[in-house]
Amino acid sequence: MTMINKTIPEFSVEAFHNGEFKTITSEDVKGKWSIFLFYPADFTFVCPTELEDMQKIYGELKDLGVEVYSVSTDSHFVHAAWHEHSTAINTLEYPMLADPTGAVTRGFGIMIEDAGQALRGTFLANPDGVIKVEEVHDLGIGRSAKDMLRKVKAAQYVQNHDGEVCPAAWEEGEATLTPSLDLVGKI
């Protein structure tokens, strides 16, 4: 079941962010674009490469009005320990949400029940909390933050330009399409 055009589930969780523990709720994330970056577990192998990759474009995302929230079923204490011990994770500037009950992970539909962990799921929600991009990978397949940045720009463009759509591999500044009878069969 897809989450596209559905509102993010309600949640209230503890997070590790900027050396502190804080509570983050679904209401806190509304009002800006948000990326939810789910991963299976702290202290693993592919996960730190993905979170570090997202950190590399975090400044560009912030400039676009986007906040990133990494999410796993680990506790906020485990997030803090991982942040302290991993050279990849100690660079993170975005909040690490703790979901030890799995409620948020289940709410996004990506819980691996027998493992108590999330699939590699990336969700982009608009400022109203409506999901516009959903990408889910098996555990052994890492994601690309660079491609997510492209998708953010496309989603924001489409939201701000009613009637236009972005074709495959669209990059900012390239031509878009305006679906109409004139285009039928000509692409």
Query: Tens digit of pLDDT for each residue in 136-155?
Result: 999 999 999 999 999 999 99
Rounded CA separation 48/179 (Å): 41
Say what the alpha-carbon torsion angle 20, 21, 27, 33 is, to the nearest 10 degrees.
Answer: 40
Q: How many domains does the chain have?
A: 1
Contact 58, 50 (CB under 8 A): no
At 186, is the pLDDT very low, low, confident or very high (cuts 50, 70, 90)? confident
What value does the CA radius of gyration of the chain take, rounded to a whole number of Å? Answer: 17
Q: Contact, 40 vs 117, CB < 8 A?
A: yes
Report yes or no on 75 lying in a domain. yes
Which residues constitute the domain of residue 31? 12-183
103 neighbors 97 (Cβ within 8 angstroms): no
CA distance 183 to 168: 16
Provide the whole-model pTM: 0.95
Say yes or no to pLDDT of 118 above 80.
Answer: yes
How many Cβ atoms are within 10 Å of 48's Cβ, its own excluded?
19
Cα separation of 156 and 152, whole Å? Answer: 6
In a domain, residue 2? The reply is no
Gap between the Cα atoms of 125 and 184, Å rounded: 31
Backbone angles phi and psi of 115, in degrees to 5: -105, -15
CB 85 within 8 A of CB 92: no
3-state secondary structure of 72: strand
pLDDT tens figures, 17-73: 999 999 999 999 999 999 999 999 999 999 999 999 999 999 999 999 999 999 999
Give the H/E segment covering residue 165. Answer: none
* Helices (H), ranges, the chain: 26-29, 46-56, 58-63, 76-85, 103-107, 145-160
**The two three-digit tokens of residue 64, written as one number:** 């676009």
Tell me whether residue 3 is in a domain: no
- List active site positions: 47
Task: Name the average pLDDT for the chain.
Answer: 96
Residue from 82, 66, 51 nearest 145 by CA:
51
Q: Where residue 147 sits, what CATH number does that domain have?
A: 3.40.30.10
Q: Please check whether residue 5 lies inside any domain of the structure.
A: no
